[in-house]
Amino acid sequence: MQRQFDITLELKTDAINIYDLNSIKLQADVILKNIENQINKCSQWKSSKEQPLSLNTTQNTRIQQQDRQWSTSINKKIQQPRPFSALSGVGTRIKRFEDAKDKQKIESQQQIIDKCPLPQKPPKSALALNQLCNQELIMGNFKLETILGSGSFAMVRLGIDKNSKEKYAIKIYEKIKLNDSQKMNNVKREISILKRIEHQNIIKLYWAIEDKKSINLVMEYISSQSLASYIKSKPNRILPEKECLSLFYQIAMAIKYLHDLNICHRDIKLDNVLMMKTNVVKLIDFGFAICMPLNQKTNVFCGTPHYMSPEIIAKVPHHPASSDIWSLGILLSRMITGEYPFKGQNDKDLYRQIQCQKVKTNQDKKINENVMRVINGCLEKNVQNRWSIDQVINDPVFHKDILIPSVKVF
């Protein structure tokens, strides 16, 4: 009977599902229950096997000793400090199984990785410098002379072709200042946009040249006089109305050309308009320019404070074409009155005025109501009600006894 019990215990132990600890606990309870049943059976067996008093003393003593030894053996198996005494060695087997399972998982993952194709190099962007820049020219072909202008990231210098003696305006970006991908992408975008456009009232890019230290934009040379400096040279810094409208209309036509190509300038101001001796103007500096379809919007904060629109200041999503129209309204007001329509003691105060105050003009300076209509249309704070570029150039004020230079599109 003792052997039969040992076999049963071993079979129950081996049958334990070592994959699940909860299953182990459940089956341990079953084993303990079986042990109790076995003990009860043993007790019954002992009662049924008791010998009569007629047996001799030696036989009776031997039977009692055997019973005591058998009972002691059972007690050693079941009377342990913890209920899992019958599961000795299970923890080791579980550990071996988990290690084998982890190894199998790692091998399976490695097989999947081995089957995957190696990552391909991404195709070169359309804005790659080696595609945008001229590979045949070098900056050694030009003699750099006076500085025509400078900004945070670039300097414009007069460049003279050593062979033809032609003059060019060369915008030089030092690579050391283009220290992040965003600045470099802005330069690439500027080159890409300038290469797409040709208009009588927009500066022309001839070549882009890259060397080890700089990226150079070789553009047509106009003059060193901006519209801002030209207006400052006039009495009271005000232009006669007809001349003002003629110059403004040329700028508006340049913006019309850009908007038809889904290009927005985003930094229209007097300093970014150059004057020619023939009174033809050229829009320059496309550092903030962007190509954006009409169904897209942006909330990028950029431009020059006095010319910024309310939506740029508020950083709300908008199409930048509407902000170009706002800047045109500021430009026209500045040209016709000699002052900005919004003023502030600092940028924060200026931004508050732009967002909250109505357009104000000096009452001492009488402004043609037709001109004022254009200014108000451009400076409408509600983007939905603000004029489009077509409304600006088609306004009757630009078609009454005003000499407008013909706009030639190449």
**Which of 364, 358, 309, 367 lies closest to 334, judged by CA?**
367
CATH topology of domain 225-410: Transferase(Phosphotransferase); domain 1 (1.10.510)
Query: pTM of the full predicted structure?
Result: 0.67
SS3 of residue 156 by DSSP: strand
Each of the 410 residues of the chain gets a pLDDT tens digit; together they read 544 444 444 444 444 444 456 666 677 777 877 787 878 777 776 666 554 444 455 555 665 666 566 556 555 554 554 444 445 555 566 667 667 766 665 666 566 545 544 444 434 444 677 778 877 788 889 999 999 988 888 999 999 999 999 999 999 999 999 888 889 999 999 999 999 999 999 999 999 999 999 999 999 998 779 999 999 999 888 899 999 999 999 999 999 999 999 999 999 999 999 999 888 999 999 999 999 998 899 999 999 999 999 999 999 999 999 999 999 999 999 999 999 999 999 999 999 999 999 887 655 567 889 999 999 999 999 999 999 999 999 999 998 766 666 544 44
pLDDT of residue 98: 65
pLDDT of residue 135: 76
Burial code (b: 16+ CB inside 10 Å, e: under 16) for 135-152 equals eebebebbeeeeebbeee
β-sheet bridge partners, residue 318 = 298
Note the helical H segments in 126-279: 129-132, 181-196, 227-232, 241-260
CA–CA gap between residue 15 and residue 93 (Å, rounded):
13
pLDDT of residue 410: 40
CA–CA gap between residue 392 and residue 140 (Å, rounded):
45
pLDDT of residue 168: 96
| Tally of residues, the chain | 410
Compute the 3-state secondary structure of the chain and give helix, strand, coil in percent, each to the nearest 5: 50, 15, 35
pLDDT of residue 53: 44
Q: Is 347 a catalytic residue?
A: no
Task: Report the half-sphere exposure of 106 (CA within 13 A, side-chain side).
Answer: 6
No. of helices (H) and no. of strands (E), the chain: 13, 9
DSSP state of 136: S
Task: Name the residue with tokens 């509407």.
Answer: 322
Task: Name the residue with tokens 């070592």.
Answer: 18
pLDDT of residue 373: 95
141 with 161: CB under 8 angstroms? yes
pLDDT of residue 129: 73
CA–CA gap between residue 276 and residue 285 (Å, rounded):
16
Read off the tokens for 236.
């009271």
129 with 188: CB under 8 angstroms? yes
SS3 of residue 302 by DSSP: coil
pLDDT of residue 278: 86
How is domain 126-221 classified at the architecture level of CATH? 2-Layer Sandwich (3.30)
158 with 165: CB under 8 angstroms? no
β-sheet bridge partners, residue 157 = 147, 170
Of 99, 267, 349, 364, the catalytic one is 267
| Residue 171 annotated as part of some ligand binding site | yes
Q: H/E element holding 99?
A: helix 90-115
Number of Cβ within 10 Å of residue 370's Cβ equals 14
pLDDT of residue 23: 66
Q: Dihedral (C-alpha) 380, 385, 389, 390: value to the nearest 10 degrees? A: -140
CA–CA gap between residue 194 and residue 41 (Å, rounded):
101
Amino acid in position 11: L
DSSP state of 88: T
154 with 171: CB under 8 angstroms? yes
pLDDT of residue 42: 73
pLDDT of residue 162: 94
β-sheet bridge partners, residue 150 = 155
pLDDT of residue 128: 76
SS3 of residue 167 by DSSP: strand
Burial code (b: 16+ CB inside 10 Å, e: under 16) for 50-68 equals eeeeeeeeeeeeeeeeeee
